[in-house]
Amino acid sequence: MIIVKLGGSVITKKATPLTINREAIAQLATTLKESRVPLIIVHGAGSFGHYNAGRFGLDSGEETRNPEGIARTRDSVLHLNLSLTKILQESGLNIYSFPPIALYREGKLETHANKVITEIMKINLIPLTYGDVMLGENGFRIMSGDVIVRDLAILLKPERIVFASDVDGISEKPGKKSPILRELDRGMIHKLSFSKVRNDVTGGMESKVLEAMRIAGQGIDVFFTNGLRRDRLMKALKGEKDGGTVIRGFNYEN
Ligand code: IPE
C-alpha cells in the first residue's frame, strides 16, 4: 500500500482563489490508475481551504470558535473534495471519500482507522480523505493533509509515501538555480532553507519535510515528486530513482 498526498499546488491553481486545476487532476488520475499500486489518497486544500482560512483568520494555528469562518472554510474544502472525487471517478478510480473526523478522536488517529481503511481497500476501493477544519479540544483547528499522512503512515506502515506538489523535489535553497536533491539525508535537514509561501496556512514545504522525517523515522521511504509531471510521479509511485527527492526510511535505534 502507498499513501499519496495530492498537494493543493497540483489540484488547484494556487494563485487564483477557489480554482481547480482540472487538467492536472485528469492527468494525475491517469498516472495513478496506470501505476496499479494499492493507494490511499490524501489531498490538500490549495486555493480553496487556504484562501478561506486566511480570510477568516483561521491561520493562526490556534483553535477557533468562529462559526462563519469554520463553515466557509469547510464548505470550500468539501467543494474541492467533491470536484476532485468526480474527476478521479471519471478516470476509472473507484473512490471512497470521507472526512478525516471519521478517523480521529480528541485529535488522535483512532486505531479503528486501520479497520475502516482495510475494509475499504479489501474490495478495491480507494480511500480518499483531506486536510480539513478539525474538531480540537476547545474549538476547531486547521489540520493539514500532511499531518494526516504522517498519522496514517505510523498506523498503517505503508510501503512508501509520495508527496506530490508543483515542484520536482527538494533543493538546498529555494529558487530555480539550486538543483533538486536525489536523496535527502536526515543530517542535511538543518542545511536546507525554504521560501515563505503566500496563501499557505499550514507551513508549506518546511513543515512537509519535518513530517516526512517523522515518517522516515518509522522505516518508511518518503518521496517528494512533481504531480504535474507524469514520468516523475510514476517513478515515485513505483519507488524508482529520478522520481524526485527521496528520504530513505531509517530507525531511530540505528
Ligand atoms: C490544509 O491542508 C487544510 C485547510 C486549509 C483547510 P493542506 O495543508 O494539506 O493543503 P495544501 O496541500 O498545502 O494545499
Domain that holds residue 101: 2-247
In this predicted model, what pLDDT tens digit does every residue of 15-28 receive, in sequence order? Answer: 999 999 999 999 99
252 within a domain of the structure (yes/no): no
Which residues, in sequence order, are CB contacts of 235 under 8 Å at separation 6+? 225, 241, 242, 243, 244
Q: Does residue 215 form part of some domain?
A: yes
The pLDDT score that the predictor gives to residue 197 is 63
Ligand 1, atom nearest to 48 Cα: 5
Backbone angles phi, psi at 226, to 5 degrees: -90, 110
Quote the ligand 1 centre to 202 CA distance (angstroms).
6
Tell me, yes or no, whether 70 lies in a domain.
yes
Task: List, in order, residues 6 or more apart from 17 with CB less than 8 Å away.
Answer: 47, 48, 51
CATH of the domain at 32: 3.40.1160.10
Q: Say how many domains are in the chain.
A: 1
Centre of ligand 1 to C-alpha 48, Å, is 9
The whole-angstrom separation of Cα 74 and Cα 99 is 10
- Residue 254 CA to ligand 1 center (angstroms) comes to 33
At residue 34, the pLDDT reads: 97
The alpha carbon of 144 and the centre of ligand 1 are apart by a number of angstroms equal to 5
Residue 235 lies in a domain: yes
Supply the pLDDT for residue 194.
79
**Inter-axis angle of helices 67-90 and 22-35, to 10 degrees?**
60
Identify the segments of the chain with pLDDT beneath 70.
176, 196-201, 253-254
pLDDT of res. 226: 97
Query: What is the atom index within ligand 1 of the atom nearest the CA of 76?
Result: 6
pLDDT at 59: 83
At 229, phi and psi to the nearest 5? -120, 110
Would 253 be classed as within a structural domain? no
pTM of the predicted structure, to 2 decimals: 0.95
Cell of residue 177, nine digits: 538555480
Q: Is 214 left (phi over 0), alpha (psi -120 to 50) or beta?
A: alpha
Residue 254 lies in a domain: no
| Ligand 1 surroundings by CB, under 6 angstroms | 7-8, 44-46, 49-50, 53, 73, 77, 131-133, 142, 144-146, 200-202
